[in-house]
Amino acid sequence: MKITLMYASAPREVHEVALTVTDACTLRSALEQAGWLQRFPEIEAESLAVGVWGRKAGWDRVLREDDRVEVVRGLRVDPKVARRERFAGQGARSTGLFARRRPGSKAGY
């Protein structure tokens, strides 16, 4: 059966491998067959999250035909905080819903 392995080891650096594995292959054995556990030791050392099609999965999950296995790193910045900071820095005080801001309120509120 055919599966795809994806891993972004650094920003703007994505590794993708199409792999043919046997039936009843687990997530861990697929990564071993691809040689990724030796090539990227941080996958196990840092306990990076692994999943199938964007949903978190365990190392012992049995894969199916055309599954996409993803190894993901943790977020460095909370997306809500980043958006709020971008909004404050864009000078959006004069546009859209926030053109008339209440005195003393935060940007974006």
Query: Tell me: the pLDDT tens digits for 28-62?
Result: 899 888 888 888 888 877 768 888 998 988 888 89
Give Dmax (Cα) for the chain.
65
Contact 107, 87 (CB under 8 A): yes
- Take residue 35 and report the two structure tokens written for it: 């040689």
Q: Are strands 68-72 and 55-56 parallel, antiparallel or unpaired?
A: unpaired
User: Topology of 2-72 in CATH?
Assistant: Ubiquitin-like (UB roll) (3.10.20)
Q: Where are the alpha helices (DSSP H) in the chain?
A: 27-34, 36-39, 42-45, 79-89
- Assess whether pLDDT exceeds 70 at residue 100: no
> In the structure, what pLDDT confidence band is assigned to residue 65 with cuts at 50, 70 and 90?
very high
Q: Which residue has the higher pLDDT, 100 or 87?
A: 87
- Assess whether pLDDT exceeds 80 at residue 91: no
Predicted confidence at residue 88, as pLDDT, reads 74
Domain boundaries, the chain: 2-72
> What 3-state class would DSSP assign to 100?
coil
In the block, residue with structure tokens 């046997």: 22
